[in-house]
Amino acid sequence: MSIPIGISTLVDLDLSMPELLDRIASAGFSHVGLSHDVAHAGYQRPAGRRQLARWLQQSRLELDYIHPPITPYIDLCSLDEGVRAYSIALHEFIIRACAELGGQALTVHANNDLLSPPEEDSARAAAGRESLARLGELGLREGVLLCVENQPGNMASQRITAALLPLIADLPGVALTLDPNHARIDNEDYLSLVECMAPAVRATHFSDTMGAHDSHQIPGEGVVDFAAVGRLLGSQGFGRPSPGGPRELPAGRQGVLNLESSLWMLRRRLAAGQPQPGDPESVPTTDEYLMRCADSARRIALGIEAAWPVQA
């Protein structure tokens, strides 16, 4: 038994979906996550979902999660009931699409608002709990777990998410997605956050940073201590087959060591003349980048497995 490895399609949105899936599979990944770019995946139409299912089957990849779109007006914690109702309906659609495609999770930004004042945090967290309670019930029926992602430490959305996490600790159908890159941004004590989240983590967005930007670099090429992150996750049994339950993946499924490293983002930064610390001077090929990602994912997965508690 070993932890499956996957990567988000955010790795290269410049490639068509069938070509990207083939390259991901050729690099040795067994799973894929669909990025926030709905049009790139094409699952917004019935025919698009059928085509995507065929492409996944042809490439012999399994769908791990779908990441809903990222815009300020998609906000499960909004105090505007119209915005919140729209956001809930959108997530309901994506839960059903994920189930149709055989996926096991949604990676959820509880909110995307960067400008809300701190005095609204408590009310927005309470609104987020109401939204997630409703969505969690649908997810349980569809066999899709909602996994709330920690946000970058320098954003207002992280304040709201931090206020929300204690409110959803026992919510059926709802767990967590761990993004160590986000945790590390402007936060030297990020491992405390990882340790706090670890018992409820059922999905991962692993990428690296030099500490100030949401860079989505390959793990091991920045300042995140992935050996320590792996030990913390492994100590909670992440990656072992799920027993099933109200806050677990469907029975028999496994947590996937899924990367969210992005050659596409690197390419755009370098083309704009706006490199971030740690960026290379030139852009590698997609195949080279994917092979480096797969090697990194395997190393982290082995570290997680080494920390698994001994079973009687």
pLDDT single digits (tens) 224-269: 999 999 999 999 999 999 999 999 999 999 999 999 999 999 999 9
Closest by CA to 141, choosing from 178, 101, 172, is 172
Domain boundaries in the chain?
Answer: 5-306
From CA 258, how far away is CA 105, in angstroms rounded?
Answer: 12
Work out the percent of the chain whose per-residue pLDDT is above 90. Answer: 91
From CA 145, how far away is CA 163, in angstroms rounded?
Answer: 21
Residue 106 pLDDT greater than 90, yes or no: yes
Model confidence, pTM? 0.96
Note the pLDDT of residue 36. 97
| Residue range 119-167, pLDDT digits in tens | 999 999 999 999 999 999 999 999 999 999 999 876 777 889 989 999 9
User: What tokens appear for 168 in the block?
Assistant: 């959803």
Note the pLDDT of residue 247. 95
Query: Could you say which of 3.20.20.150, 1.10.10.10, 3.40.640.10, 3.20.20.60 is the CATH number of the domain covering 5-306?
Result: 3.20.20.150
Question: What pLDDT band is residue 115 in, cutting at 50, 70 and 90?
Answer: confident
Four-CA torsion 266, 267, 268, 270, nearest 10 degrees: 80
What average pLDDT does the structure give for the chain?
95
Question: What pLDDT band is residue 110 in, cutting at 50, 70 and 90?
Answer: very high
Note the pLDDT of residue 114. 78
Mean pLDDT of 31-35: 98
CA distances from 216 to 61, 73, 179, 246 (A): 22, 24, 10, 31
Note the pLDDT of residue 154. 67
User: What tokens appear for 134 in the block?
Assistant: 């409703």
